[in-house]
Structure 1
């Protein structure tokens, strides 16, 4: 998506720039979280082995940060269609068939994301009073990352269902080279 040219005008141009911004923001925040995770792990090891200080809270913070990094990465991957797909027959479909397949797949994905977001919402509510041992952080914050990720992907999938395939999005089968 970064190499694609934006549409000339209209709603597609706004969507293109919004999705590119979302992707770049999620990527940047995800990388920052991963760097922070690495820094915390190194700090905890050095504090334990060199200074003989125990830092049990780092495990809880690293787990929380890792879940948020994965949630941000999944949003970015969904926008770029980088999630794992099994493409058995898309390359054999014509224009109308590809339109239908794209929209049906996006609609099914949207339904799954809504269902998963609902499950994350329920789990966040159930685990309000369950806290981590060292810092007393509610486990709900873990489920909020999952909830935000699935809501974001559901909104994007709903847009994909309504809009259909876009010209700036290169499908995986279009990237393959023919011998």
Structure 2
């Protein structure tokens, strides 16, 4: 993620300086920035999932803390919902990857399959992690309320 952000920042900065300082720019900078931003977002989403740093509605689950059986059931339902959503995203991303294989980006000439590919990889990874948590019956992390001010 850091490498994507660094390259993206340098490419955009150079392009802005060239455009406003010298009246010209690097056309490839915009395509490269867009591609790197998409990859950075999905790498971040994949890295955040096992740490429990995605959206958490702990205020809805806190009353269930004293009911461990119900909390386990809710945790299982949440993980099943995550798997279903990830499978749907993966299916749509796979269709976009297939479409993108037949076309090239305008300036840099990379395959347009590289844009939806991180969504496919991320959703497969998140589905696998959620499935593993479901099999292990790992309890939900409800300690997020300490992060809220």
TM over 0.5: yes
Q: Which residue of 1 aligns with 2:8?
A: 37
Number of the residue aligned with 1:131: 104
Separation in structure 2 between the aligned mates of residue 57 and residue 89 of structure 1, nearest angstrom = 46
Residue 48 of structure 1: aligned partner: 19
Give the corresponding residue for 1:91.
62
Q: CA deviation at 1:53?
A: 4.1
Residues 46, 79 of structure 1: CA spacing in aligned structure 2 closer, same or farther, 3 A cutoff? same
Q: Which residue is 1:68 aligned to?
A: 39
- Whether contact under 8 Å (1:103, 1:162) holds in the other structure is no
Matched, 1:145 2:118: yes
Q: Which moved more, 1:113-122 or 1:56-65?
A: 113-122
Q: Which stretch of structure 1 is more off in the superposition, 76-85 or 146-155?
A: 76-85
Deviation at 1:174, TM superposition (A): 6.0
Is residue 77 of structure 1 aligned with residue 48 of structure 2? yes
Partners of 1:108 and 1:101 in 2: how far apart? Answer: 10
**Unaligned regions of 5+ residues in structure 2, if any?**
none
Secondary structure at 1:133 match in 2: coil
TM-score (normalised: structure 1) = 0.73
Aligned-residue offset at 1:105: 0.5
Match of 1:161 among 109, 134, 148: 134
Q: What is the RMSD of the two structures over their aligned residues, measured on CA atoms?
A: 2.1
Deviations 1:12-50 (A, max 9, x none): xxxxxxxxxxxxxxxxxx122112211111111223334
C-alpha deviation, 1:115, in angstroms: 1.6
1:89 counterpart SS class: helix
Contact kept in structure 2, 1:104 and 1:161, CA below 8 Å: no
More helix as a share of residues:
2
